[in-house]
Amino acid sequence: MNKRKNIIITLLVILLIGSFTMTYLALNGTISLDQENEKEDKELTTPNKPDESKFIRKSTINLEETSCKNREIKASIDSGNIVISYNDKKVTINTKNAKYLYKTSYQVCTNVNLFYITEDGKLYMINGLNEIIISSEVKNNENLEITDIDSLRFKDANFVKLSSKTDNIKEFLGNYTTPDNEVDEYGYIYSEIIILDENNKERNITYHKDIFR
């Protein structure tokens, strides 16, 4: 009788140990799986860190190099406004919150596009500043509003807003040229710059187009 009782007790102990082992393994496997899933979810939700070496964060640039007509026209940011200078003459463009500057040229030494990003992530383009600074109509230390630029006062000057309120642009990344001067079905070639938005996504912004055909 005792022998049978001992056998039963032994079997119960074995069952208990086996049950405990199975439960432990199951729980451990679940925990590991949950941790792995959490890690994967984190990797999916974490945005890729952008390459900061590509960032163009200039606050001063030359609109014309010294080799262009033997003159140097500079643009710089001062207290959120853009100051254009040539020799001893300075003109301030009241932009209020300019942060970074970038330029492109579509004719040698003239027709320079000046882009700027604002503190609140808007993107704008001004062209014709070369004409403005050398114009006798504009006096030294004069302050100009955007409406002064985007008017018939200067025939080659223009002010363009290139982003909407939801664009939230952070950085300039450079200029983009369509491969082999590709054109659309109507024969237009587009000029674009590359920017980085708040989601760390690279985007191309079209700012100019010419009839190529």
Q: Per residue in 7-38, pLDDT tens?
A: 666 766 677 777 767 666 666 665 555 566 66
Answer whether 89's CB lies under 8 Å from 205's CB. Answer: no
- Name the CA radius of gyration of the chain, rounded: 32
pLDDT number for residue 63: 85
d(CA 200, CA 164): 17
Strand 158-161, strand 98-107: pairing: unpaired
Helices (H), the chain: 2-45, 129-134, 146-149
Q: What is the DSSP letter of 58?
A: B
Q: What is the pLDDT of residues 61-74, one digit of tens each?
A: 988 765 566 678 89
CA dihedral (118, 96, 154, 169) in degrees, to 10, reads 10
Give percent of the chain with pLDDT exceeding 70: 66
Q: Which of 75, 82, 116 is nearest to 207 (CA)?
A: 116
Answer whether 73's CB lies under 8 Å from 86's CB. Answer: yes
Answer whether 101's CB lies under 8 Å from 115's CB. Answer: yes
Q: What is the pLDDT of residues 145-194, one digit of tens each?
A: 988 887 767 777 888 899 887 889 999 999 886 666 666 666 667 788 99
Which residues have CB under 8 Å from 46's CB, separation 6+? Answer: none
Strand 142-144, strand 89-93: pairing: parallel
d(CA 98, CA 172): 13
d(CA 74, CA 115): 14
pLDDT number for residue 126: 92
Answer whether 114's CB lies under 8 Å from 101's CB. Answer: yes
